[in-house]
Amino acid sequence: MTEIDNAVNALQKGEIVLYPTDTLYALGVDVGNRDALKKLYALKGREEGKQTSVLVSDMEMAEKYGVFSSKARALAEKFLPGPLTLVVPKKGKEDETIGIRIPDHEFSLELVKAFGGPITATSANVSGEESKTTVQEILEQFGDKSQEIDMVVDHGKMPGTPSTVAQVIDGNIVVLREGAIQKELLL
């Protein structure tokens, strides 16, 4: 079995996978699995119910979960795949939002394609702590809790700058976090 097969298998079983992206390492679980999400939030020490962005493989998958205005679509066409998380209205629940990311990273794209649906794209760090760029540093930061990470995909040191997060609602663009893409390029 390949690394992708093993990771898909872990996600299907409701396990937590530490995987590389084009920016940092992320912690992935099946977005549709409530128990897996609870495990993930407990691991990170993050309050339940706080949104986590999702990783999708392409715009076709993205549009199943988010509503993309012409402005959001233009940003997606210009910057995705890449280090941008677009926060858009959630499909079917337009009063809620969802953060969607399409990474420019072969492994993470293949993982989501093989899994066939979105996975969480939350940074692999303890909530409120600095994001680390190597698996060893990440596991050290989690300490004893690192045993709760069911599978680790180590692809060496990551670039380390998080994705830029831009919310696009009613045609308004608000940069929630400036990361790898400069704010001025989005507005």
Digitized pLDDT (tens) for each residue of the chain, 187 residues in all? 899 999 999 999 999 999 999 999 999 999 999 999 999 999 999 887 778 899 999 999 999 999 999 999 999 999 999 999 999 999 998 889 999 999 999 999 999 999 999 999 999 999 999 999 999 999 999 999 999 999 999 999 999 999 999 999 988 999 999 999 999 999 8
The pLDDT, as a whole number, for residue 165 is 96
The closest of 129, 163, 116, 158 to 18, measured between CA atoms, is 158
**Right CATH for 3-186 from 3.90.870.10, 3.30.365.10, 3.40.50.970, 3.30.470.20:** 3.90.870.10
Tell me the pTM.
Answer: 0.94
User: Distance (Å, rounded) from C-alpha 42 to C-alpha 72?
Assistant: 32
Q: Provide the pairing of β-strand 164-169 with 84-90.
A: parallel
Q: 101 pairs with which residues across the strands? A: 55, 85
What pLDDT sits at residue 94?
Answer: 81
pLDDT at 110 (0 to 100): 97
**Tokens of residue 136, six digits:** 């060893």
CA torsion through residues 166, 91, 63, 111, sign: positive
Report the pLDDT value the prediction gives residue 183, as an integer from 0 to 100.
93
**3-state class (DSSP) for residue 172:** strand
| Short-list 102, 96, 133, CA closest to 119 | 102
